[in-house]
Amino acid sequence: MIRRAAPSLCLAVMLSACVAGPTYKAPPVAASLPQHFAGAEALPAASAPEPAQRAWWALFHDPILDELEERALAGNPGLAIAEARVRGARASLRLERANGLPRVNPQLSTIQAHLPGVDLNQGGQASGAADNDFDFYNAGFDASWEVDLFGGQRRRVEASRATLGAIEADSADARLTLTADVAMAYAELRERQQRIALAQADAVLRHKSLALLDQRFDRGAASPLDVQTMRAMVETADAELPPLRAEAQARIDALAILTGGMPGTLDPTLSAPSALLSPPAAVQVDDPASLLRRRPDIRAAERRLAAETARIGVARAARFPRVRLLGVIGLGGSDPSDLGDIDKVAVLAAPALQWDILDFGRGLARVRSAEAKRDEAEAAYRKTVLSALRDAQDALARFGQRRLALAALVRASDAAGKARSLTRQRYDAGTVTLLDVNESERQAIAAEQRLATARALLSIDFIALQKALGLGYLPPSQPGDGPQG
């Protein structure tokens, strides 16, 4: 029986070399990309070969930020969800690989039959006779295998592998977003704390000026208008503090949530003001083609395109014949004692052919649906590439212009500081009043407030630039996948 089934088995194996569906090739993009980002040449270039290491936030040299990032990567629930999806995708890939292998199951069976009016003679022919009781016992293995004649199962494995790559890239993108959110919230917190300190100093000066005006009013040297104008300025300064304190507390709570803790858990660590973040003086910006290799969202879109391309092969293979091999081998006979008799080996081979010829267009419809999904994935990939290029270009423009604005505000703050010193000297010489000194102090504080905000925004723009450039993410190297640079 095995010898008679061998030719069919060999034919099935030879036919299994055929693979339905298009062979995936990553879309070429480098030919249409610009050589450099506009405005990148205006930034001081770093000497490092890579735009940033994985722990890119270490470029700020802030130990508290380093600790927050580590806690976020270890305890953030959103990142845990992404990692769980990766594990699930890996299990799905293992399942698809196993589905292409034969299924072998141990089995122990017994058959008791009562056949009325049937007698089996030695030639295996049925003849009219009295009722007959029939017992059969068998212990062994049954096996089944659907021969992958046209590569449908291989395309399923290919699609599952590409889906795993997309989910891994999604996980990297979640990591990217999380670390950027932590750094931005931390930069905003330090900026709010700096503004609170400066606003408190400004409020103190306004209260002093109001007290001086009250004294001058009592002596008849100031008008009621001057007093009420200063009183309005005092109330305005006092009103600025509560919203700033609320915003600072909101940033602390946000960082607590991002790091996987409850609101309030980071209050002891972050309530005390600290220095503003300071981005590095030099920034490494590679060419747009390198951006496409680093951005995990581009990697995810490209892998989804590969998965949808493979599913076209699955749909096409389903339109062809399917061969399923069934077999049973074991020991058995008409008596339970035959289960241990090695001379009584029972072998059954049953190949089966199935072909849905008259499916009334269902198979073709599935192919067309798969092709449409592939086209959708290709359009989504192109959209992701264009969005990434725009993000990078916009981030570069903002960062470059913010550096120019910061330089101007540094000069303005220096000028306000010099004006404050000159006013103090004139007060010591008796040529100006203490009100003039307080006003120059307030002007200097206002310049420091604008400068602090600009420094924080520069750090936030640097974070956005690092995120747009991919934060040093490098996808796993796999032959035949990934955008062609």
pLDDT digits (tens, 9 = 90+) for 213-240: 788 788 887 778 878 887 888 888 888 8
Distance linking the first and last C-alpha atoms of the chain: 56
Query: Residues 6 or more apart from 421 whose CB is under 8 A from it?
Result: none
With residues binned 3-state (H G I as helix, E B as strand, rest as coil), the percentages for the chain, rounded to 5, are 65, 10, 25
Q: What is the mean pLDDT of residues 74-88?
A: 93
Structure tokens given for 233:
């300025």
Contact between 193 and 247 (Cβ < 8 Å):
no
β-pairing verdict for 118-120 and 126-128: antiparallel
pLDDT (0 to 100) of residue 326: 78
The identity of residue 472, as a single letter, is G
The span from the CA of 28 to the CA of 48, in Å, is 28
pLDDT score recorded for residue 196: 92
SS (H, E, C) 125-187: CEEECCCEEEEEEEEEEEEEEEECCCCHHHHHHHHHHHHHHHHHHHHHHHHHHHHHHHHHHHH
Who's near 367: CB < 8 A, 6+ residues apart?
A: 312, 315, 316, 319
Q: Is the pLDDT of residue 142 over 80?
A: no
Domains parsed from the chain with CATH numbers: 14-100+149-320+375-469 (1.20.1600.10)
Question: Could you tell me which residues come within 8 angstroms of residue 272 by beta carbon, excluding any fewer than 6 positions away?
Answer: none
Q: 388: closest CA among 279, 302, 283?
A: 302
Q: Are 20 and 317 in contact (CB under 8 A)?
A: yes
**Residue 108: its H or E element:** strand 103-115
CB 274 within 8 A of CB 194: no
Phi, psi angle pair for 248, to nearest 5°: -65, -45
- Smallest CA-to-CA distance from 388 within 43, 26, 29, 24 is with 29
pLDDT of residue 455: 92
Please give the pLDDT value at position 265.
92
Query: Residue 40: what pLDDT?
Result: 64
Q: Considering only 115-119, 243-247, 385-389, 409-413, which range has the smallest mean pLDDT?
A: 115-119
The whole-number pLDDT of residue 3 equals 47
Report the candidate in 242, 272, 251 with the shortest Cα–Cα distance to residue 460.
Answer: 251
Torsion angle of C-alpha atoms 371, 373, 377, 383, degrees rounded to 10: 110
φ and ψ at residue 361, rounded to 5 degrees = 90, 5
Q: Which residue in the block uniquely carries the two structure tokens 């102090």?
A: 441
Contact partners, residue 72, CB within 8 Å, separation at least 6:
79, 178, 179, 182, 258, 259, 260
pLDDT given for residue 18 in this prediction: 66
Q: What is the mean pLDDT of residues 52-63?
A: 80
d(CA 173, CA 156) in angstroms, rounded, equals: 25
More confidently predicted of 189 and 444: 189
pLDDT at 2: 41
Q: Nearest CA to 79 among 191, 215, 175?
A: 175
Q: What is each CA distance from 41 to 33, 285, 289, 293, in whole angstroms?
A: 17, 9, 17, 21
Write down the pLDDT at residue 181.
94
Positive or negative, the CA dihedral 406, 411, 412, 413 is positive
Structure tokens of 479? Answer: 């032959």
Handedness of CA 91, 320, 324, 18 (dihedral sign): negative
Q: H or E stretch including 117? A: none
**Cα–Cα–Cα angle for 158, 159, 161, rounded to 5 degrees:** 65
How many CB atoms are located within 10 Å of the residue 287 CB?
A: 15
How do 322-333 and 345-354 pair as beta strands? antiparallel
Which position has the higher pLDDT, 75 or 133? 75
pTM of the predicted protein model: 0.79
Averaged confidence pLDDT in the chain: 81
